[in-house]
Amino acid sequence: MSDHDAAQQLAAWDRDHFWHSFTQMQEYEPLVIAAAEGCELIGADGRRYLDGASSMWCNVHGHAHPAINQAVVEQLQRAAHITSLGMGCDTTVRLAKRLVDLTPAGLDRVLFSSDGSSAIEVALKAAFQYWQQCPQPRPGKSRFLAFGAAYHGDTIGAASVGGIDKFHALFKPLLFDAVYAPGPDRCKLPEGVAPEAACDHYLAETEKLIAQHAHELAAVVIEPLVQCAAGMVMHPPGFLGGLRELCTKHDVLLILDEVAVGFGKTGRMFACEHDQVTPDFLCLGKGLTGGYLPMAATLTTNAVYDAFLGDAASGRALYHGHTFCGNPASAAAALACLDLFESERTLQMLTAKVERLGERFCRLAEHPNVTNARQTGIIAAADYTADAQVGRQVAAYALEHGLWIRPQPGMVYVMPPLAISLAEIDRMMDVIEEGIAEATGIPFATGAAVP
């Protein structure tokens, strides 16, 4: 069978048998990836695509990095899987210690899981149980406060604190009821609220709800700095620090969902570092293994952990865990990923890339059909003022010209691997500009290229 025929066969099997996540299969056009290297995906037909969304926000150091590959192979030669129920693999133990040392001081306990949704489930269940059996139990504190347009995953608990109806409305009979505060969007402010007053406005609105429901709130859960699935909603500076103060003031736990924004995506290792915040629970995933293998983690404090201690008959243990929690092959990838942050000076090298991306999005904002250009770290987005189909047309144009970005009806966003080069940023943005000009029929103004 020729390479062309083999690619066609795979496309047919893909269409006929593979039910894809978050995909309307009636409209799906097969895109089968056979390999990847650096910041590029390689199709079964040999075509290459710059990975403009870091394989759904998780790839960090590029695909097929030899250091991560080697770490996984070496681990597989020793053990592929060791259960975390009643024992711990040495590799996973080392990762737990590494995460405690790396995250904000006070997060001393780590429970591993396989995906971001599960990391959130752990935090929700642990927060609920904490109030049932802490030194001064308050069993009435059993609800959660989340934010408008939030997304925390698709398992039942995580979906219950989600705020995007198109994902979860159908399942509302299965979900528990949460309290919702307005999403703190720094670009789309309520009428009469000036940009410089945005942080205070949203904190005041949030405090009203926390104060009203403090007697029944177990925790507040939020994606810090950037709500990704909401449309790259970016928060006003200082909001996270203010939220931490409100939670402490009203005796409510704080859960930070850094599954998408952790591991350098905001320009720092963790988003909570921007406001020097230590949450009660920090949920990590995606970039934890560099985007290589499924793994997530929920970190918490000794104050929370101690409430679960007792003898076997006490019933105080956290009865939560899945078969592959703490998988050592994933842990080996995660340790190698963290090593690369140091050896390749990933965060230091990111500064120039963030600046270049900002320059290119400023140019994007000059187009008459582009508005609300925004950026946090290596995450950048802008909205379209034109027909909602522009987003899909731009994504289709990009794919045809060697760039993979997620098709979004009213917006364009990029979140490439941290390993992306300046030249690749320019290549990515050139294609997006060309796609917008093609879709709208309005070219960008000519001018000097970004150096």
Q: Annotated binding site: which residue ranges?
A: 116-117, 151, 257, 286, 321-323, 406
Q: Name the binding residues for pyridoxal 5'-phosphate.
A: 116-117, 257, 322-323
Q: Name the binding residues for substrate.
A: 151, 286, 321, 406
| Antiparallel, parallel or unpaired: β 179-181 and 143-147 | parallel
The torsion of the CA quartet 166, 170, 173, 179, rounded to 10 degrees, works out to 10
Secondary structure, 3-state, the chain: CCHHHHHHHHHHHHHHHCCCCCCCCCCCCCCCEEEEEECEEEECCCCEEEECCHHHHCCCCCECCHHHHHHHHHHHCCCCCCCCCCCCCHHHHHHHHHHHHHCCCCCCEEEEECCHHHHHHHHHHHHHHHHHHCCCCCCCCCEEEEECCCCCCCCHHHHHCCCCHHHHHHHHHHCCCCEEECCCCCCCCCCCCCHHHHHHHHHHHHHHHHHHHHHHEEEEEECCCEECCCCCEECCCCHHHHHHHHHHHCCCEEEEECCCCCCCCCCCCCHHHHHCCCCCEEEECHHHHCCCCCCEEEEECHHHHHCCCCCCCCCCCCCCCCCCCCCHHHHHHHHHHHHHHHHCCHHHHHHHHHHHHHHHHHHHCCCCCEEEEEEECCEEEEEECCCCCHHHHHHHHHHHCCEECCCCCCEEEECCCCCCCHHHHHHHHHHHHHHHHHHHCCCCCCCCCCC
Which pair of tokens denotes residue 239?
């909001």
